[in-house]
């Protein structure tokens, strides 16, 4: 059968619609799937704590799925190019198959791996290959709406590839590290109880979640902004870890009718975010509008204390606090509430969007470099396609508009006894609940004054 070939897995932890795995199996050689825990290549962008919890369980379940196919997952720790080159040499082969990744550190790692071995890269984590949607002049789009119009001309994506029926195994397996030794799970304290209750990482969990969502996808536009309802797909973490492909989701829900097109546009936004970081790799840390470097963000001990209160869900704004506590408990936050919480940090508290982006990077199970950066820069007004800074969300009216009463009762139990008329803006004092950090009118006026100073 010849020397084994490697399948280098990263955030593509699935067997279905996995072009790299299909190609490796089609080679006729034994196949060795390998995951490298590489904290060196990303440097300060190593996975956050919530993502590491998810990764542990996703790898555990992927190994089980591989064993059902006659294979197994080899785990190694270190810099990807060094580890893969050594493993390929040990096995007597030089062929490595992998899916393209577009975060700047993975693009660098792919170049390094390609110098050490024959690296074959395939597409499959996005609707179309990032960088392939171009203007009439042959340049990448910067604005989402024309990008989405052009992207639709290339859709639907190809039908998803079935998982291989059997994966040819080598006669002798290389040594694998123990997943438990990687310390991906929290222990002292174990803060992941809410994660375990909420999520089922892995490909099987992703497909189950898709089945649940497909039955109500037609009502997506009516329900997605209501945090008290299960109106969103809850597929974001499965997509972030590549446990399901966007093509699989597209072909499952595209014919559901109703407002399914709105949901498909959200898959398009995911492609758009990759289009942005492909053009601007530093988007997670650098303002797309360079002039924002001079914006007068608040700094110092008082701003630090305000940031901590925001992180802990102690701002005095019930919908913001509900979202931040949901995030801490479950590693996820409803999309509408993410926008409200981000706007509050940036505009009411005048704290640099990058500090919020870093908090989300560490605490979200669906943390995705492109989407996280694009969404935060959209909220700040510093992005290439962004909300205007002077458009300031009003948390109290947003809470009432989107009927967040039951959502608040779940995540802010101090307010659970309040009637609907009071829960969005509770009368003070309420035992155990803090007063507002800053009044809405005062926060809005301060933000507009900072903007006027910045523009003046």
pLDDT of residue 93: 85
Q: Identify whether residues 131 and 83 lie together within a single domain.
A: no
In a domain? residue 243: yes
CA-to-CA separations, 390 to 104, 286, 385, in angstroms, rounded:
31, 21, 15
Within this chain, do residues 326 and 424 fall inside the same structural domain, yes or no? yes
Question: Is residue 164 a part of any domain in this protein?
Answer: no
pLDDT tens track for 113-140: 999 999 999 999 999 999 999 999 999 9
Classify residue 125 by its DSSP letter: S
Q: ω before 156 within 30° of 0 (cis)?
A: yes
pLDDT tens per residue, range 395-454:
999 999 999 999 999 999 999 999 999 999 999 899 999 999 999 999 999 999 999 999
What is the per-residue pLDDT across 249-292, written as a single tens digit (0 to 9) for each?
999 999 999 999 999 999 999 999 999 999 999 999 999 999 99
Same domain, 248 and 298: no
Residue 150 located in a structural domain:
yes
* Residue 250 placed within a domain: yes
**382 and 299 housed in the same domain:** yes
Tell me: do 297 and 352 sit in the same domain.
yes
Q: Which of 79, 101, 125 is the endpoint of a domain? A: 125
Q: Are 294 and 454 in contact (CB under 8 A)?
A: yes
Report yes or no on 184 lying in a domain. no
CATH number at residue 32: 3.40.50.620
Whether residues 267 and 149 fall in one domain: yes
pLDDT in tens, 188-237: 999 999 999 999 999 999 999 999 999 999 999 999 999 999 899 999 99
User: Per the domain annotation, does 179 fall within a domain?
Assistant: no
Structural domain count, the chain: 3
CATH number at residue 225: 1.25.40.80
User: What pLDDT is stored for residue 456 in this prediction?
Assistant: 85
* 315 and 256 share one domain: no
pLDDT for res 428? 87
Which tokens go with 277? 């970081």
Place of tokens 């699989």: 248
In a domain, 357, yes or no: yes
366 and 240 Cβ atoms separated by less than 8 Å:
yes
pLDDT reported for residue 94: 85
**231-259: b (≥16 Cβ within 10 Å) or e:** bbbbbbbbbbbbbbbbbbbbbbbbebeeb
Q: 114 with 146, same domain? A: no
Structure confidence at residue 140 (pLDDT): 97
Range of the domain at 254: 126-159+192-279
Residue 285 lies in a domain: no
Residues 64 and 208 in one domain: no
**Are 120 and 130 members of one domain?**
no
User: Please, which pLDDT band fits residue 1 given cuts at 50, 70 and 90?
Assistant: low
% of the chain surpassing 90 pLDDT: 98
Residues 227 and 299 in one domain: no
Whether residues 299 and 267 share a domain: the answer is: no
For 153-275, strand residue ranges (E) read none
Are residues 143 and 29 in contact, defined by beta-carbon separation less than 8 angstroms? no
Per-chain mean pLDDT for the chain: 97
Q: Which of 279, 310, 344 lies at the terminal end of a domain, its last residue?
A: 279
Residue 349 sits in a domain whose CATH number is: 1.10.579.10
Cα distance from N-terminal residue to C-terminal residue, the chain: 71
């Amino acid at each position: 059968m010849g020397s084994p070939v490697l399948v280098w897995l990263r955030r593509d932890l699935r067997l279905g619609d996995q072009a790299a795995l299909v190609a490796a199996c089609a080679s006729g050689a034994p196949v060795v799937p390998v995951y490298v825990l590489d904290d060196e290549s990303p440097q300060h962008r190593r996975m956050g704590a919530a993502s590491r919890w998810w990764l542990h369980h996703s790898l555990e379940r992927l190994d089980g799925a591989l064993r059902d196919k006659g294979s197994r997952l080899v785990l190694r720790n270190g810099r990807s190019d060094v580890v893969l080159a050594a493993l390929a040499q040990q096995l007597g082969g030089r062929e490595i198959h992998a899916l393209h990744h577009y975060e700047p550190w993975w693009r660098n790692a792919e170049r390094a791996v390609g110098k050490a071995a024959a690296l074959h890269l395939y597409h499959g984590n996005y609707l179309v290959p990032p960088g392939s949607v171009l203007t009439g002049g042959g340049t990448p789009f910067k604005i989402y709406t024309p990008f989405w119009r052009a992207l639709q001309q290339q859709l639907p994506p190809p039908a998803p590839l079935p998982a291989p029926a059997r994966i040819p195994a080598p006669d002798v397996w290389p040594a694998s590290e123990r997943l438990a030794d990687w310390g991906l799970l929290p222990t002292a304290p174990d803060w992941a109880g809410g994660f375990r209750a909420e999520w089922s990482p892995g490909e099987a969990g992703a497909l189950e979640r898709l089945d649940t969502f497909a039955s109500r996808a037609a009502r997506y536009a009516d329900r997605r902004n209501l945090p008290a309802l299960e109106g969103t797909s809850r597929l974001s973490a499965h997509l972030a870890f590549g446990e399901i492909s966007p093509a699989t989701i597209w072909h499952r829900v595209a014919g559901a009718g109703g407002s399914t097109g709105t949901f498909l546009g959200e898959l398009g936004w995911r492609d758009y975010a990759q289009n942005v970081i492909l053009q601007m790799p530093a988007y997670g840390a650098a303002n797309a509008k360079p002039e924002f470097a001079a914006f007068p963000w608040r700094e110092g001990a008082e701003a630090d204390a305000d940031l901590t209160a925001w992180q802990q869900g102690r701002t005095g704004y019930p919908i913001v606090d509900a979202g931040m506590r949901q995030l801490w408990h479950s590693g996820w936050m409803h999309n509408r509430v993410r926008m409200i919480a981000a706007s509050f940090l940036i505009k009411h508290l005048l704290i640099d969007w990058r500090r919020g982006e870093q908090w989300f990077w560490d605490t979200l199970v669906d943390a995705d470099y492109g989407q996280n950066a694009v969404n935060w820069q959209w909220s700040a007004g510093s992005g290439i396609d962004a909300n205007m800074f002077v458009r300031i969300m009003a948390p109290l009216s947003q809470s009432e508009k989107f009927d967040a009463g039951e959502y608040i009762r779940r995540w802010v139990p101090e307010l659970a006894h309040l009637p609907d008329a009071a829960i969005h803006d509770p009368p003070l004092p309420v035992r155990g609940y803090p007063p507002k950090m800053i009044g809405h009118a005062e926060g809005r006026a301060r933000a507009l004054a900072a903007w006027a100073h910045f523009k003046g």
